[in-house]
Amino acid sequence: MSKPISNISAPMLDKLASLRVLLVDDDEIALDRIEGMLRKLGIKSVNRSLDGHAALAAIESAISLPQLVICDLYMPGMDGIEFLRHLAGRSFEGGVIISSGSDKRLIKTVENLAQVHHLRFLGTLYKPVEAEALLVALMDLIGSAPNNGYGPIQKMTPEEISSGMDAGQVETFFQPRLALCDRRVTGAECLVRWRHPERGLIQSVAFISVAEEHGLINDLTMVVFGQAMARLSEWRSMGYDLDVSVNISMNTLNRLDLPEVFADMVRKAGLEPGHVILEITASRLMSDIATSLEVISRLRLKGFGLSIDNFGTGYSSMEKLKQLPFTELKVDRTFVSGAADDDVARAIIESSLKMGHALGMNVVAEGAETRQDWDLLAALGCDEVQGFFIARPMPAEEFIPWKTRWEAVNCKSKSQ
Ligand code: C2E
Ligand code: MG
């Protein structure tokens, strides 16, 4: 199987090289291990502190603040939990990673705390830290920020969104989904991005919620859906048996003519609705229950696949499974990444699988970031998988070349 992020582009390597990192840990061996990995990636500025007090002193006296702090939890002197509070109190804008060997449930609580503190929390590295998990967290820091900066997310304005849509700045990216049984590519999730003339490529977190709040999400969904159909039609006419999944906001489900509009677009692209899966986050469903129920049921009647997205995160997920005709269950990435070392997450995946399969649903795990995640999902009998371990979302034109390379390396027989 190929490595997770096998080829880091030259601009990404440049960004990595210029990162300023502060390591906070009382264990010199752990410090040596992480520092060695960072240096191998070309990172030159790596400083070390042995507890929270020393780290705060280092930050206060620094000429340039660190852009990333990697912090242990249990340390004599000031521990990691208290240190995170002080970091937040200083409005630290860099990325934060926890590296710890503590009890997984305690780590989960600290992760929540980091988010409540509004720190830019990038994830946890379980000790002994693995190079590929470290790389994923680093790529998150350097690759995901709008503006390509390291600061907080800069939201787009509603005006930028509506004029940008007219100017053709919306671009759908595709993240591969794979069948775990034979590693073949089954399709892709469509994830929207913004090609901003000055700010460069912008991630969805900077504009989806703004579009939802200002009544622009329907228009945006139509653009993404149109691009998705155009690509799927191109790929299927080349002979590739692929499906696409499109994310649908709950606001869009209040549109009664949605089943006709989508069915029409699918037909005009020469496709069948059975090759299109609509991903819906059930916990956010239903401001107008009757309309949403009707729209969802009629979408299913027309043959679209229906996926319950981010499963396990909303307390109403189970209830919605009973109410709605979902064909697929998508286990949220917060349970998938690191699940091999997390009994609670593993139990949630296992019970989601059992429930999904008992209801005849396809179960997809999203957010597989390491080989351990992959191996666990395969052992548990998950149907499909998606995640950075396989590939990040990519521009449409890169998808078929990527699929061909992946299948040549990972699948035994012919790839079509
Ligand atoms: P989602 O539907 O849960 O999409 C999966 C998100 O997880 C994507 O983030 C994807 O890039 C990310 N992801 C995939 N694999 C991994 C992994 O291994 N590790 C980590 N850390 N993350 C992974 P993205 O593209 O930023 O999208 C975020 C959310 O924005 C989506 O969550 C979806 O709710 C929404 N969204 C994206 N595109 C659209 C769209 O076209 N329409 C609507 N309505 N919502 C969209
Ligand atoms: Mg989704």
244-272 average pLDDT score:
95
**13 CB within 6 A, ligand 1:** no
- Helices 371-380 and 343-358: angle between axes, nearest 10 degrees: 40
* Domain 5-142 in this protein, CATH class: alpha beta
Q: Comparing 147-161, 226-240, 393-407, which segment has the lowest mean pLDDT?
A: 147-161
Domain boundaries, the chain: 5-142, 158-410
Compute the distance from residue 168 Cα to the ligand 2 centre, in Å: 23
Q: Give the pLDDT confidence of 80-98 residue by residue, as tens digits.
A: 999 999 999 998 989 999 9
Compute the distance from residue 25 Cα to the ligand 2 centre, in Å: 36
Instruction: For the chain, give the mean pLDDT.
Output: 89
Residue 251's pLDDT is what?
Answer: 85
DSSP assigned state of 116: H
**208 CB within 6 A, ligand 1:** yes
388-409 average pLDDT score:
96
Phi, psi angle pair for 404, to nearest 5°: -60, -45
Confidence of residue 268 (pLDDT cuts 50, 70, 90): very high
Instruction: Give the number of the atom of ligand 1 that is nearest the alpha carbon of residue 173.
Output: 25
Looking at CATH, the fold of the domain delimited by 158-410 is given as TIM Barrel (3.20.20)
Give DSSP secondary structure letters for 148-212.
G-SSS--PPPHHHHHHHHHTT-EEEEEEEEEETTT--EEEEEEEEEEEETTTEEE-GGGTHHHHH
Start-to-end CA span in the chain (Å): 19
Higher pLDDT, 118 or 68: 68
Asked whether the predicted pLDDT for residue 260 surpasses 70, the reply is yes
148-160 average pLDDT score:
71
Name the residue at shortest CA distance from atom 8 of ligand 1: 191
**209 CB within 6 A, ligand 1:** no
88-110 average pLDDT score:
89
**C-alpha span between 323 and 4 (Å, rounded):** 38
Quick check: do 5-142 and 158-410 share a fold?
A: no
* Nearest ligand (C-alpha, residue 333): 1
Q: Distances in Å between the alpha carbon of 279 and those of 84, 193, 296, 357? A: 35, 17, 11, 18
Residue 285's pLDDT is what?
Answer: 52
Phi, psi angle pair for 206, to nearest 5°: -85, -10
Highest mean pLDDT among 59-73, 134-148, 261-275: 261-275
Token pair 């920020």 is found at: 145
Residue 15's pLDDT is what?
Answer: 85
Written as six digits, the tokens of 52 are: 């929270």
Confidence of residue 413 (pLDDT cuts 50, 70, 90): low
**C-alpha span between 278 and 247 (Å, rounded):** 6
192-196 average pLDDT score:
94
Residue 7's pLDDT is what?
Answer: 57
**218 CB within 6 A, ligand 1:** no
Name the residue at shortest CA distance from atom 5 of ligand 1: 366
Higher pLDDT, 9 or 392: 392
Confidence of residue 146 (pLDDT cuts 50, 70, 90): very low
Written as six digits, the tokens of 208 are: 């989806």
Residue 315's pLDDT is what?
Answer: 57
Angle made by CA atoms 377, 40, 134, in degrees to the nearest 5: 30
**C-alpha span between 111 and 334 (Å, rounded):** 11
Higher pLDDT, 414 or 76: 76
Confidence of residue 147 (pLDDT cuts 50, 70, 90): very low
* Residue length of the chain: 416
In angstroms, how far apart are the furthest CA atoms of the chain?
66
**C-alpha span between 221 and 279 (Å, rounded):** 12
CA of residue 270 relative to chain centroid, distance: 30
Confidence of residue 2 (pLDDT cuts 50, 70, 90): very low
386-393 average pLDDT score:
94
Confidence of residue 341 (pLDDT cuts 50, 70, 90): confident
* Nearest ligand (C-alpha, residue 367): 1
Written as six digits, the tokens of 86 are: 């002080």
Instruction: Give the number of the atom of ligand 1 that is nearest the alpha carbon of residue 172.
Output: 41
Q: Do the beta carbons of residue 330 and residue 283 sit within 8 Å? A: no
109-128 average pLDDT score:
87
- The two beta strands, 170-179 and 384-386, are antiparallel
Helix (H, G, I), strand (E, B) or coil at 87: helix
Name the residue at shortest CA distance from atom 15 of ligand 1: 387
**C-alpha span between 184 and 177 (Å, rounded):** 9
Q: Do the beta carbons of residue 33 and residue 81 sit within 8 Å? A: no
Number of H helices, E strands in the chain: 16, 15
**332 CB within 6 A, ligand 1:** no
Asked whether the predicted pLDDT for residue 397 surpasses 80, the reply is yes
Compute the distance from residue 374 Cα to the ligand 2 centre, in Å: 19
Compute the distance from residue 191 Cα to the ligand 1 centre, in Å: 6
Written as six digits, the tokens of 169 are: 């700045």
379-402 average pLDDT score:
96
Residue 155's pLDDT is what?
Answer: 86
298-316 average pLDDT score:
88
pTM comes to 0.76
Give the residue, out of 165, 172, 191, 253, with the most ligand 1 atoms within 8 A of its beta carbon, to mutate for a pocket test: 191
Q: Do the beta carbons of residue 338 and residue 376 sit within 8 Å? A: no
Q: Comparing 51-55, 234-238, 410-414, which segment has the lowest mean pLDDT?
A: 410-414
Residue 148's pLDDT is what?
Answer: 38
* Nearest ligand (C-alpha, residue 310): 1
Name the residue at shortest CA distance from atom 41 of ligand 1: 192
Confidence of residue 415 (pLDDT cuts 50, 70, 90): very low
